Chains A and B, each alone.
Chain A
């Protein structure tokens, strides 16, 4: 192996800061262990757009995207071998996040839970699920919570194990037939959403900078970013009684690493994300670490709310995508004028 290696990590929008921190530490470790110095290139953007770039020829060694569906699309294009999601622990998602609310200081509209979002007069800023991973998680969170989806406490080993077993044994998904969830979703997007931004960061800017809306519905890490950027005296985070486990997965792009000869370092890089040291960095950047100890340490910032998983409740990404977000699927139907 050469003494130098170059890795391109193609990632989604909010992970800029996270991977800048992790790359520095990984490079140090890898150099000490193997003598190879690694330099990184990072690319960030909307999750689907990034996936499309890789499909269209961007030579990414690893992809770290916002939703499994986008990596599945790369897999279907023949660049990643099937079974990538079983290669690394926890669905190949070394860190997670969830969907929460950001409200204006003092919570003037008294937003406490999902049902408050569909109250008349409450305006919610959320991106378009067709153009952003965060928005798709938010849609699923609202749907699942309304349908009383079964949740887990994912801050304990037992909870993590239960969730995984439940996901594996889940066979039918009654949540899709839930009429109340459908009605709530339809009402919500038609009456309570004044603007649909194309991405998570755009929605944060609309809410925090342009001062539009009463609630921002977004990734937990994005809510924290708004607090850090715009001031804790302006906003506060509200956690609903339950939400979805957002799993942004990672994968090695087999086609690329085999050609470039970077498989070893790329695989080591993704495995490194699961080490206690990386998990600590993950938590500092307001993502939820899988590591139970790290999670406990940061539980005052990221309270252990009950979470449901896409695999157990919705049967995984391809099914959810087909039912909700594909061309002409439910999300399009919401906005179809009644015939």
Chain B
């Protein structure tokens, strides 16, 4: 691999719900992860609007990247979809307790993580090739794809510690904003994996509602 290609590759993206699940499960790996990221999480708890900034600091930290690498391996090997769903329900429940509806952004995050997990387990070659191409073609967007889940991880863990509505509300606002952006990545990657398929061919055109209805009805 040339050094040019290596430089274009961004840091890995953590799985936010997985990290949260691990934080709750309290394994050695996640305890180390939590201990290492605690100052960042506390900062985000007090100032949720700095989540992206804190995420960027972490992504420049070799030890954090090392932990992230192990977390990814743990996710690929051990985490189940049910555990992710269960954690997702716990987070929603925590916000709901304080009268905050966060269902939609959490659904976006869960969708992304389940989709990614399925790709890693069932479509690994195509998935990683797609990500490598994405990083080489759009390094800035690929870096953003590392920042968004890292910031979401900090926010979700901070939400576990938060004990008042005043603390949770600004956290939920940041989660909403980042989840909106994450959804565009989910869709982009889904589209990227569909490239060059016959399905993308235009099979009908329409200039009016009637023509559109016909176009969609005919086989």
**Do A and B interact with each other, yes or no?**
no
Show the binding face of B for A, using Cβ within 8 Å: none
